[in-house]
Structure 1
């Protein structure tokens, strides 16, 4: 296992992504083979990691992934790497109530792979008191090691001295600092950061972050802190492909395909054949199955509704071969999509669902599902684990047993009823699949 580090924080919006990308870019420019990973189900940040390092990033999720899959995906991250830099999500210890090591928290990943934690502290509005937070993180979970802290949003040289005085008192090293700078913030929208492929001047932004890392972080000390435990690799535990030739929608409206899914499919000999609905392209007729990932179809609903070649080709494909849609892909398979302005756009009409973004409501959390019927993702009763994160509302009635995709529960086994739809060879659901099969 390659040495690694986990960049984490006591809470969200502390600057983890900024520090992670700065560190990745600076170390990659030194000639190191840096590989990225994202703790948890976030499907946007890995694309930024890839842009910063030049290599694919993966998700590591201790709740959704069983031990075999988790190690297989960690093996993808560590392959031919000099260093793995993992980025946490939410707070370091935030997760669900589950068994030891299976909570989905960042700390589970650091503990499993022996990766020391670089703790990012947003010091705005505090000084010596920051040390109490860092000390609490250092002692809360004996499985992990806090290698040191990076101070973010430092107001002045005096402010930094005060913060460092508190940390010196409790013996926690400061590995660098970034000054308060609104220009460092990457653009966001309702699901988080604007996608890497849509971020203007991304290379220039990443180079600026790399420059700031060179100036403000002790890169030598951070590298010296990296460590890692050897773990057995389980490449056979990666996801199995739903077909040998998979037509995958891929553009600004359809981009949320988990990297470990695509890697597993390819590892087992499947060919991914991308096509762009926004360019009015249809899935290739020679493919075995069509996969519509999530993304932002609500921002492009007019173009999708006008893409006759795509919609007609999708319907023709679905007449004889399986089609599956996740979240945004599920909405496009439906009857209509109402955008934030209240304009209703006709969609593929392959599933009996109409969705709307006019009144937004957050749907968020892990989903543990049992399939209601045989399909490309498994036989009746097969277990899937995924994650749901969207603001859309369904305007049509919930599915009945005869047309539902799965019965779902949350991470604490609370029954959430029937979800998704199936009609003929077409299936769809709001959750993105992370793992298939019992953990």
Structure 2
């Protein structure tokens, strides 16, 4: 397995990840696109609900983050027995966590949406969508862990194909339930929720099947008779800071959404469209960063420190150049892109302004994505959390409120705050990487 993995280049790992991420993001964008033909209020309802669900999803990702890094480092060190044990522990942990949080969200969804200042005209729909998707969060919990296992062993193509199948099922389900085709009840956003849950179930089942067929797990004697203390400790050492970083981000976005809700439904809807479009800009950097993360973990396991450093520097430059190029293209064609979702002239005008700000925002985000994932893969997991918290809560939120609310700049002011935050963190992460403070922080005892 190690020899096969070593032959994987950044490109070989990245292009399936890129397509998979594109398809994954398309799933959310297709929901928005198809709902936009139903009503703008439906778009706003699903957008607010997904913000809540995304906040909870980061609780699952902390186990997935630890899984990928620990498995990659152990594969690099040729310790496949340990990587197998990490995989099993991660699956079990996220299944339990997913069931618990599913119940919690169903019971508290109304109170959360009230706190977020959800407009009265979309409150009922938002609650229904949140409860349907939220009741099946255990699927969302184990999906990133299973995908991480495939990615750690280099099976990125298989994961890509599964995501394609899930997307096709999601589109078919949306068409049936949103518009009531072939006698199916017309359910609008509720139909989107049902379609989302079904496609996610199929995705999890297919990934589990591929893992069962492709990966030969090898466990130490007596592994299932003892409590895996060391594995859990290492997962938590990586995952908890990563989770706290994501919680800081997602919770800050909840505050930001409450600011946008004060501005009005038009701002909420524009934000949903702009966020979905922005995903297609930064997915290039995200795919590059994820591919580089696997390689960094692998070479950390082999103690090839110089390779880790120089590879990541080159990867960073590549991500920035690609991200800037894509941002410019999206800015120049923003009127056409936004017109795919709406004909409202106010949304089209505001969207173009946001795409201009995105040019600067994505410069910082490309740096953050590559260097943050590389630092974590090397074992330097606390620094990204600390800087992320500072950037989001000390930089982004105050600037967003000052510009967006106090100076009445609205959504434009809030988008500027996003850009300032990303560029600030990108600058500091660059210094951290070049000073090599991440050396000797791995989790395999080398």
TM-score, length basis structure 1: 0.29
Higher RCO structure, 1 or 2 (CA under 8 Å, sep 6+): 2
Q: Which has more helix, going by share of residues?
A: 2
